[in-house]
Amino acid sequence: MFGISPPGWIHTLGSLPAIPAAAYMFGRSGRIVPRSTAGTVYLVSMLIGAATIALIAHQPVSYVIAGATLALLLVGYGVERLPWRQGAKRYIETISLTLTSFLLMLPAVSETLRRVPDGHPLVTDPKSPMLLGAMAALLVLLIAGITAQVIYLRKSRQLAQTV
């Protein structure tokens, strides 16, 4: 189904829970919250997705995305342990984990457009205007989202300093 191999299904089903977990956290908190149940689901799913990419990757960029995702996850989930100021850590954590969600959605959207509907996908050419438009929309959402997150973090920090 959808031209996905058994290892591809392992990769897809393993990483799929990260999407609703991220959507839930963005909707509820405006960011990925690492020390939460949804944050744990997100981390485990992202690790499965990044670790299993070697089973299915056909293009070198897949390895770059997986490596960048792993590095950003390490930063986002590990920055809390560093002896830096709390404010800087929150910015690094938020931006790093938001970037991981962007790196998750790039192949998710691309593969969905290139496989659905089964047998007659919406996109067959990597230079399709629909695919390029979807990628551009993800980039715009990333920029707008990180901007909104930084503004929110800055305002929260200012409120905490005045109290």
Mean pLDDT by 10 residues, the chain (163 residues): 87 96 97 97 97 89 94 96 85 97 96 91 94 98 98 87 71
Element (H or E) spanning 32, and its range?
Answer: none
Model's pTM, two decimal places?
0.93
Q: What is the pLDDT of residue 161?
A: 75
What pLDDT, on a 0 to 100 scale, did the predictor assign at position 16? 96
What is the model's pLDDT at position 163?
62
Strands (E), the chain: none
pLDDT value of position 31: 96
The pLDDT score that the predictor gives to residue 159 is 78
pLDDT at 160: 76
Beta carbons within 10 angstroms of residue 86's beta carbon: 9
Segments making up each domain of the chain, as ranges: 6-162
Q: What is the pLDDT of residue 9?
A: 92
- The angle that helices 60-78 and 37-51 make with each other, rounded to 10 degrees, is 150
> Considering only CA atoms, which of 52, 37, 43, 45 is closest in space to residue 75?
43
